[in-house]
């Protein structure tokens, strides 16, 4: 059985003369957590944005659930995108809405649910990510960084997505909050069965949650494989990244945990 959910072939992305991706190939498989890493500016966020429809691609093809995105009508494309949950790196919540309203918003916009029912589901999603019912009425500004990330995750899960896109979800969190977020992600993936496209710089996250890791370098995916195979790849950036001081610390921590 073909377990491919997203299949990217010969993708090209550019901004003017700045070619960000060229001949980039990558797959995301059913139920997996795929970590996407690479140096700053290598195009991890642009890749995410082109899959979720925020950046038109310049060449190549992206197939999602077997459908070629660039051949779909606007309505068909919207139906595909409804199966995505996205957590962006920067401020994922509306500051003028409380948490319950923030999470209910996609439900009100994309389903025939009444506001009351949407807010009821929003409270269930808050519980799912480990937030106390009393948090429902709080405004984003009153929350810790870890709580904001959890609430943003609850919003990304509002429409029960099949694919979750996370852009550096643990950036800016202290190590304990980051580790709790990683565990939450694993628990939810196991319970709900979605697959995850996870852009991260966090080595601990790679070691803790990712089934496979894709390295973007020189405008393409250099390697996409298990962490052990990626770390053993003969490439200067990969060797520096995985076997430099931070990489060694993350390996050590992962070994201690098993």
Ligand X SMILES: Nc1ncnc2c1ncn2[C@@H]1O[C@H](COP(=O)(O)OP(=O)(O)OP(=O)(O)O)[C@@H](O)[C@H]1O
Interface residues toward ligand X, by CB under 6 A? 15, 18, 20, 38, 40-46
Q: How far, rounded to the nearest angstrom, does the alpha carbon of residue 158 sit from its chain's CA centroid?
A: 15
CA 207 to CA 250: how far, in whole Å?
7
Question: How far apart are CB 7 and ligand X at their closest, in Å?
Answer: 20
CB of 67 to ligand X, least distance (A): 24
Measured from the CB atom, the residue of 107 and 152 that comes closer to ligand X is 152
Helix (H, G, I), strand (E, B) or coil at 192: helix
Inter-residue contact 151 to 129 (CB < 8 Å): yes
Closer residue to ligand X, CB minimum distance, 20 or 105:
20
Q: How far is the CB of 83 from ligand X (least distance, A)?
A: 23
Residue closer to ligand X, measured from CB, 41 or 133: 41
Which residue, among 33, 38, 36, has the nearest Cα to 208 in the 3D structure?
A: 33
Q: Which residue's structure tokens are 């059913």? A: 30
Residue 114 is classified by DSSP as -
State which H helix or E strand residue 225 sits in: strand 220-225
CB within 8 Å of 117: residues ≥ 6 apart:
107
For residue 145, give every residue at least 6 positions away whose Cβ sits within 8 Å of its Cβ, in sequence order, or none.
172, 173, 174, 177
Rank residues 55 and 83 by Cβ distance to ligand X and give the closer one.
55
Lookup: tokens for 171: 């950036």
For residue 20, give both structure tokens: 């960000």
The nearest distance, CB 89 to ligand X, in angstroms, is 7
Q: Cβ of residue 202: shortest distance to ligand X, in angstroms?
A: 11
SS3 sequence, 135-162? HHHCCHHHCCHHHHHHHHHHHHCCCCCC
Cα three-residue angle 32-165-215, rounded to 5 degrees: 65
With respect to ligand X, which residue has the nearer C-beta, 135 or 215? Answer: 215
Closer CB to ligand X, residue 44 or residue 149? Answer: 44
**Least Å from the CB of residue 43 to ligand X:** 4
As measured in angstroms, the least distance from the Cβ of 215 to ligand X is 11
Question: Residue 179 or residue 216: which is nearer to ligand X going by CB?
Answer: 216
């Amino acid at each position: 059985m073909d377990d491919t959910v997203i299949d990217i072939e010969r993708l090209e992305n550019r901004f003017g003369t700045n070619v960000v991706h060229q001949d980039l190939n990558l797959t995301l498989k059913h139920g997996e957590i795929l970590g996407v890493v690479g140096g700053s500016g290598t195009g991890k966020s642009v890749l995410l944005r082109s899959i979720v429809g925020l950046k038109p691609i310049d060449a190549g093809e992206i197939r999602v659930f077997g459908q070629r995105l660039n051949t779909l009508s606007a309505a068909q494309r919207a139906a595909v995108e409804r199966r995505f949950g996205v957590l962006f790196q920067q401020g994922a919540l509306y500051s003028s809405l409380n948490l319950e309203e923030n999470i209910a918003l996609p439900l009100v916009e994309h389903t025939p649910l009444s506001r009351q029912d949407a807010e009821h589901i929003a409270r269930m999603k808050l519980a799912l990510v480990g937030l106390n019912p009393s948090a429902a009425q709080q405004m984003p500004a009153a929350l810790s960084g870890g709580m904001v990330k959890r609430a943003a995750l609850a919003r990304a899960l509002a429409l029960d997505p099949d694919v979750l896109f996370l852009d550096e979800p643990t950036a800016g969190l202290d190590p304990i909050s980051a580790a709790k977020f990683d565990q939450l992600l694993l628990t939810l993936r196991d319970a709900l069965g979605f697959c995850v496209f996870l852009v991260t710089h966090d080595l601990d996250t790679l070691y803790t949650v990712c089934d496979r890791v894709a390295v973007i370098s020189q405008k393409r995916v250099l390697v996409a494989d298990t962490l052990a195979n990626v770390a053993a790849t003969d490439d200067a950036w990969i060797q520096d990244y995985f076997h430099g001081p931070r990489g060694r610390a993350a390996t050590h921590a992962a070994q201690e945990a098993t």
